[in-house]
Structure 1
Amino acid sequence: MSLGATGLGTGRGTRASREPHPLRAEALRGFAPLAGAAVLLTLGVLLAGSAARWQGGWAETAAQTHVAGLIAGPLAAAAGCWQGGRERRRRTEELWGTAARAPLARFLAPALPVALWTAAGYLAAAGLAMLATWPYAQGDRPHPALLPGDTVAVAAAALLGLVVGRVVPSRLAAPLLAIAGYVGLGVLSASRSAPVRHLDPAFPIMDTDVPVWWQPVSMAVWTAGLAFAAALAYAARRRATALLPLAAAVAAGAVLTQTGDGLWHEAPLARRQVCDTSTTPAVCVNARYAGMLPQVAGALSGVTGRLEGVRGLPARWEDRDGAPRADEAELPHLTPLGWTAVRGRLTDPTGFAWSATAALSLRGDCPDAAQPHRVDVADDAVRAFLAPAGPATRASDERWARADAARRADLRERRAARARLAGMAERERRAWLSAYFTARVACDPKGVPAL
């Protein structure tokens, strides 16, 4: 009898030990994995649709995945809200209430899997975006600093959503919460002059912005504190315990709003340039895209080749924000990505060379003043010689000139000036170009020689 009793006891203990923990069952089956997959799929589609604007730049990728929280947060909140109303839809609220576990344990069993799965979906989407950028990155390094705070914010949104789902007895609560979350985050993002904008976990940032080291920590405490405070206020037996995470959230929010723009600083690499000094002018690009320097220099090789021996030129083409210095010309901007450069390649090398040529004569530091028509004609001839237009540009000139007789006469004058400059002997043309650039760099339109 004793042996049998022992055996039965052992059998019950074995069966009990094999029963899966409720949290494990919720995490591996049911709605939570689907919620994580929905976040991953939604962000994957959105990021893929805008890939030309971020793929190839580490800073752009970080900024884009950060702003993706504008979609991931409300989607996670809607998933949590739908999970929160599960027992009501199944009509098992009374049965669930008779379980031996404490109310907080009954709340966390479905809440934590949804929060973790939606956060994992966001993190996976961000990781895939970084993998997509890696083959095309032209400099810089990955920028993962914002990921911890953004991931915690997505999990917190799911937890808050589950509280709403438990409190609001409506099937429409989930979609309405998603809409309200999206609108709320959008309003915070649009409040660019208000300190509360820094409480937005998806606040849009510049590509060159880097957070101070404690900004993601403060953002994580702010969002997670609010979520845990709501959960404890709803499900804890001692609801006063909600005051602790609430106090932490308020303190973190105060730090974020009081610090304001001091939360961000410019990335050091954004102020650096790398240059090819083998030509005159030298060709410089921002250090974040150092890998594109050979390609940019190659696109300008025809221009620099025709300028060999010419005096009075700017010292370099520069690639940074702000007006060029007295001895510099502005390089056509490589950013924002998706226009001049896509996935580490120039989209239109010919047009890029033409714009760079125009920058040699259009001095940004010269006073604004009307210039003689002959200077316009000379500018056009120089651009046409240094960066010959393609068939599309010539066809566009023809269409422009068809409008009236004055335009046709102007086009004939410009073409004649182009022909005279191209037909000069090499030494004569070099002297003319030297006089031209000397006058343009000195902001002296009257000194521009005639053609």
Structure 2
Amino acid sequence: MTTTVTATPKAAPHPLRAEALRGFPPLAGAAVIVLTAVLMIATAREWQGNWAETADQLHDSLLMTLPVAAAAGCWHGGRERRRRTEELWSTAVRPPLTRLLAHAVPVALWVAAGHLLVIAGAAVATWWYALGDHPHLILVPGDTIALMAATVVGHVVGRTVPSLLAAPLLGVAGFAGLALPEGNGVQPLDPASFAVKGSWPAWWQPLAMIAWTLGLALTLTLAYAGRRRAIALLPLAAALTAGALLAQVGDATWRPDPLLRRQVCDTSTTPAICVNAQYGRLLPQVTTALSGVTGKLRGVQGLPTRWADRENGPRSGEAQLPILTPFGWSLVRGRLTRPDRYAWEAAAALSDRGQCKRLSERVSLADGAVLTYLAPSPDQSDYDAVMAKGSATDRAHLRASQAARAKLAGMDEQRRRTWLSAYFTARAACDDKAVPSL
């Protein structure tokens, strides 16, 4: 008896799979990865170690990647024209909308995947040096959908405009449109608009932005290739509704980051040391950097209760801790770059008289002596050398300043503590006459 084996034919691969795994779409994703990665690496000093800055930097990169995504979609959309296979594709069984999506969606998915891959890499790089806070992902869905929508819109433009220059011109036009100065009336509708520093959008803002960008892309797609073009009115209505909401509310959609209003303090020192909760893990470094200052102030009366890190300035009874932002200068990848200068700036804040009246020469000499004693300036020797080569008045001031510094440094510990207590008490009261002489 003979057995007949019938071979089961393999199913044809899905068109999306074939388009996604070869040709131009992977290159578009690679272009987004390279461009965004270059932008992030070039500015790593400014964001690495702080989750909020990382999220802001990734969002700001849309200024470059959105035009690239649109240009990539446009170039891919003109593929059949360049191959001169338009008439052949028009005879295919699949309807025009299906054919368009089969070509456009793989590019959009690769662009989105490239964007998400860079986000994952930036998250790992930030986590390694993170000083506190947590990852901010609220902008990610809206940014990713905006990239996909730009790709689809570019694809439709590429199918419509019969020119090899359509893709680069669309990219340039997109960049010019996104780079409009802040304050223009359409800024709330710009998916690449700069985030409000220290703030995060309300929960509905990313959803409205998705409806705005995706609605416009679907409207254009359905109007171009839909069997019933009237259906394009549905996504258009959703886009216009979301756009009207965004335009009407504007910057009011952004809410202050609650962490910026919190302080993390070390109360074992006098004054206490408080840093912003957004980078609370930096507190041990700051305490160590200021240990020389706080050690010399042990037992001194009349001091501010704390150093505080507040963007709007210190409150009554506080001194301003040196501002660490923008990152990339005094703070890089979670480390203080110049602890000596940081200590000098913190010591200077203790003798800052704010709104007090104009200082006399005697009080100015006392301020300089106290600052030099607590934390000598890294540039003090250079400053003294310049003064020594100056006019007779400059040289006289330098001699008086050096004498005041030497007198304060030469006091015994108890006498110096008493003198410093009188000095800081008078400073707090803005009483020049009560400042002890040197």
The alignment partner of 1:18 has SS state of coil
SS across alignment from 1:284:
strand
1:257 equivalent to 2:250? Answer no
2:69 aligned partner, one-letter code: A
Question: SS of the residue aligned with 1:275?
Answer: strand
Q: Give the alignment of 1:75-90 within 5 angstroms.
A: 75-90=68-83
The residue that corresponds to 1:376 in the other structure is 364
TM-superposed deviation, 1:323? 2.4
CA–CA separation in structure 2 for the residues paired with 1:403 and 1:74: 57
Pairwise mapping of residues 282-361 of structure 1 onto structure 2 (< 5 A)? Answer: 282-361=272-351
Contact 1:70 1:202 in 2 (8 A): yes
> In 2, Cα distance between the equivalents of 1:411 and 1:74?
59
The question of whether the paired residues in 2 share the 8 Å contact of 1:340 and 1:348 is answered with yes
Partner of 2:422: 435
Q: How does 1:133-148 map to 2 (within 5 A)?
A: 133-148=126-141
SS across alignment from 2:150: helix
Which residue of the partner structure matches residue 208 of structure 1? 198
Equivalent pair of 1:341/1:347 in contact (CA under 8 Å): yes
Compared CA separation, residues 168 and 397, structure 1 to 2 (3 A): farther
Give a deviation string over 1:195-214, Cα, whole Å, max 9, x none.
52111111112342111111
TM-score by length of 2: 0.96
Instruction: Report how many residues are paired.
Output: 436
Report the counterpart of residue 191 of structure 1 in structure 2.
182
Question: How many angstroms apart in 1 are the aligned matches of 2:428 and 2:241?
Answer: 55
Q: Which moved more, 1:271-280 or 1:394-403?
A: 394-403
Letter in 1 for 2:208: S
Say whether 1:25 aligns with 2:13. no
Aligned to 1:161: 154
Runs (5+) with no aligned partner, structure 1: none
Gaps of 5+ in 2: none
- Code of the residue aligned with 1:184 in structure 2: it is G
Kept after mapping to 2: 8 A contact 1:185/1:202: yes
Distance 1:69 1:400, change over 3 A: farther
For 1:162, give the aligned amino acid.
H
One-letter amino acid of the counterpart of residue 375, structure 1: V
Give the drift of 1:149. 0.5
Structure 2 counterpart of 1:107: 100
Shift of 1:401: 4.1
Task: Name the counterpart of 1:152.
Answer: 145
Q: Distance in 2 between matches of 1:64 and 1:83?
A: 28
Between structures 1 and 2, the one with greater helix share: 1
Aligned residue for 2:186, secondary structure, equals: helix
Question: 1:15-47 CA deviation, whole Å, 9 max, x = no partner?
Answer: 4x4321221111111100110011011100110
Query: Retained in 2: the 8 A contact 1:226–1:246?
Result: yes
Q: Percent identity?
A: 60
Cα distance in 2 between the residues matched to 1:335 and 1:247: 42
The alignment yields a C-alpha RMSD, in angstroms, of 1.7
SS of the residue 2:275 aligns to:
strand
2:372 maps to a residue whose letter is A
Distance 1:163 1:447 in 2: 77
- Return the offset for 1:363: 3.5
Q: Aligned ranges for residues 274-289 of structure 1 at < 5 Å?
A: 274-289=264-279
Aligned match of 2:434: 447
Alignment of 1:171-250 (within 5 A): 171-187=164-180, 190-192=181-183, 194-250=184-240
Matched, 1:124 2:111: no
Match of 1:44 in 2: 37
Q: Is the 8 A contact 1:195 1:258 kept in 2?
A: no
Between the aligned partners of 2:427 and 2:86, the Cα distance in structure 1 is 81
